[in-house]
């Protein structure tokens, strides 16, 4: 796999523009209340920082990492690799995800996080592949709905490659 196999799906300007719009919507909805952003490592790091730059200055950042399931694994196999530093109890938590595919990762996370009694829990994802959904989840903010393609860049990888592209590309099959 090399960079010649990566085609542009959403260019840098369109990604930035959309993230700014999402942030404006979020600021409006939360009325500048302090939000705890929960960044899901590693894929959401680029999206999180770009989004957070446009959010209220009272925004907090937390990071978690979960093991992704491989093919053949069941949803219950998802494990927490890195947890938040501070408690999310009574906080207004916004999960920031790079992409929702089957929905299994987020559905696991939402169930687990709800038990910690946040004041509110919402989901913001840069990308969503609706055709691939296996588990129903309510997503509050979606950057782009995309077709069933494997995407890279803007935090997303294929075997740890191409995360640092400043646009969203896809791998041509």
**Minimum CB–partner distance for residue 58 and ligand IMP (Å):** 27
Choose between 30 and 126: whose C-beta lies nearer to ligand IMP.
Answer: 126
Nearest approach, Cβ of 67 to ligand IMP (angstroms)? 11
Residue 150 near which of ligand IMP, Mg ion, none (CB within 5-8 Å, type-dependent): ligand IMP
Give the one entry of ligand IMP, Mg ion, none that residue 101 binds, where binding means its C-beta sits below a cut-off of 5 to 8 angstroms depending on kind.
Answer: ligand IMP
111: exposed, middle or buried (Cβ count in 10 Å: 0-12, 13-18, 19+): exposed
Cβ proximity to ligand IMP, 30 vs 122, nearer residue: 122
- The tokens of 13 are what? 């300007």
Judge contact between 48 and 23, C-beta under 8 A: no
H helical segments located in 7-116: 12-30, 45-52, 104-114
91 binds, among ligand IMP, Mg ion, none (CB under 5 to 8 A by kind): none
Closest Cα partner for 43 from 170, 151, 173, 172? 151
Among 156, 162, 165, 168, binds ligand IMP (CB under 6 A): 156
Position 43 contacts Mg ion (CB under 5 A): yes
Which listed range, 7-15, 17-25, 96-104, 132-140, lies at the site for Mg ion (CB under 5 A)?
Answer: 96-104
101 assigned to active site:
yes
Q: Which of 86, 72, 137, 128 lies closest to 108, judged by CA? A: 137
Q: Work out how close the CB of 27 gets to Mg ion at its nearest, in angstroms, rounded to a whole number.
A: 24
Token pair listed for 146:
């995309």
Q: Which residues contact 156 (CB under 8 A, 6 or more apart)?
A: 43, 98, 99, 162, 163, 168
Contacts (CB under 6 A) with ligand IMP, residues 31-70: 43, 68
What residue ranges bind ligand IMP (CB under 6 A)? 43, 68, 97-105, 150-151, 156
């Amino acid at each position: 796999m090399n960079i010649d196999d990566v085609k542009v799906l959403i260019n840098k300007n369109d990604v930035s523009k959309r993230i700014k719009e999402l942030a404006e919507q979020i600021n409006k909805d939360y009325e500048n209340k302090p939000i705890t952003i929960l960044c899901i490592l590693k894929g959401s790091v680029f999206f999180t920082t770009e989004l957070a730059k446009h959010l209220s200055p009272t925004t907090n950042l937390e990071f978690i990492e979960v093991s992704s399931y491989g093919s053949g694994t069941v949803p219950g196999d998802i494990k927490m690799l890195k947890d938040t530093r501070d408690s999310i109890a009574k906080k207004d938590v916004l999960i920031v995800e790079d992409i929702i595919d089957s929905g299994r990762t987020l559905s696991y996370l939402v169930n687990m996080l709800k038990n910690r009694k946040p004041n509110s829990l919402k989901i913001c994802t840069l990308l969503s592949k609706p055709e691939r959904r296996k588990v129903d989840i309510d997503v509050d903010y979606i950057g782009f709905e995309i077709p069933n393609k494997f995407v890279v860049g803007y935090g997303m990888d294929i075997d740890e490659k191409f995360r640092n592209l400043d646009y969203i590309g896809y791998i041509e099959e």
